[in-house]
Amino acid sequence: MRLKASNTVYGSRLYNIVMMRRRPNEIVIPDGKTAEEALQIWIDNQLGSDDQDISTEKEFSISQCAYNFCVRYSRRDASISSELLNYWKRAYVRALMERGLTFKRDSADLSPVAHEDFLRALKVIPENPLACYRLGHLMYKKENLGETIAYFARALDLSLKQQNYPEIVRMSNLQTQYAQELLSNSIKQLYEFLPKDDDSKIGPLEQIPIVTFSEDDERTSLFYTKIVGRKKEEERIGMSEYYEKLDELEGDSEALVIDRLLLNPYVRYMTKDQPLDENHKKLHYLLYCLGLEETEEELRLVSYDSIRATISRLNQNLRSLGVSEDKFRVRYTLAEKFHTSGQIDIHYFRSIYYI
């Protein structure tokens, strides 16, 4: 929908931005007017008195100038509310993302303008998985493996929490799958450039998997384990089934999801997520007690009190998700070691990295 000269200009959505040129702040605050009133007067003047759609170039110019104005006066004038500032911040980032995408698609030489626009969008909203994804794709086309890996890894990391971010910066399911594929392929290619005189620190080349997520995959991408009572079932599933199962389990009060597919694992109950760092003992203790991982020898070097303290923090995380103590609790005793109490179904997703 295009901007029009109306009183609902702040509710408009700015799409299809194809031109952008950095311009000085042209908004002047007249005597007796607040900054918000001056902004609205300036916008109305830019739009004109008719009800015709404006050009995409002017649409971008308005969003850019309005955002810069709000940033400048947000601390000087109380009329520039955080809501107004955030609206124009999103509008400006949407403009940058759309313009960058246009140049990325239309330029045969991977236009540096697209790269600059995505970087600028990332600077305005750092929690921007979509900008990281597009920067990763640009770097992949340029065969810059280091930056490809960095941007795709960051995109996948941010995507785990993207439900908390504005819709304009979120990745789609297909983009998430593609990022995973290109990330693993880039790691494989980077390995091939490493010195071959000391493979012992890295391991055999064959142990680095290439992940592909096409519709006709051989169901080797993901492993899904379901634990109901004492019964445990495991199967290999494709990406489409993975998303279907997550959708089915969302809101299920009898289901606890442990998702280890992407770079940062998390536990989900109902609609709430709790991140668990891959290298943190809380994740591994949870998997140990469910029989989803073998107990490591290094636990012999960890004190009883230290294990109990970590288990206590893990249970606090579960309580914060809404999992009651009688429904599920992780325990550790000298006699029984790791075990659980309560009745809840466990749904565990892992990639081929965690076979």
Report the number of distinct structural domains present in the chain: 2
Name residue 225's beta-bridge partners: 234, 348
Any residues with CB less than 8 A from the CB of 340 and at least 6 apart, and which?
Answer: 289, 290, 328, 329, 330, 331
The pLDDT of residue 24: 41
Query: Does residue 51 sit within a domain?
Result: yes
Burial 125-145 (b: 16+ CB within 10 A, else e): beebbbbbbbbbbbbbeeeeb
Residues 147 and 248 in one domain: no
260 touches 250 (CB < 8 A): no
Residues of the chain with pLDDT under 50: 1-25, 51, 199-220, 353-355
Query: What's the domain range around 36?
Result: 9-185
Residues 145 and 227 in one domain: no
Residues 104 and 180 in one domain: yes
140 touches 182 (CB < 8 A): yes
Collapsed DSSP state (helix, strand, coil) of residue 228: strand
19 touches 64 (CB < 8 A): no
CB < 8 Å & 24+ apart, contacts of 116-121: 117/20, 120/96, 121/93, 121/96, 121/97, 121/169
The pLDDT of residue 278: 63
Residues 14 and 84 in one domain: yes
Residues 259 and 169 in one domain: no
207 touches 355 (CB < 8 A): no
Residues 160 and 259 in one domain: no
The pLDDT of residue 189: 84
Q: How far is Cα 285 from Cα 277, in angstroms, rounded to an integer?
A: 12
pTM over 0.75: no
* Closest alpha carbon to 11 in 83, 111, 101: 83
CATH number, residue 175: 1.25.40.10
Residue corresponding to tokens 């007249």: 30
Residues 55 and 169 in one domain: yes
Residues 53 and 151 in one domain: yes
Residues 226 and 78 in one domain: no
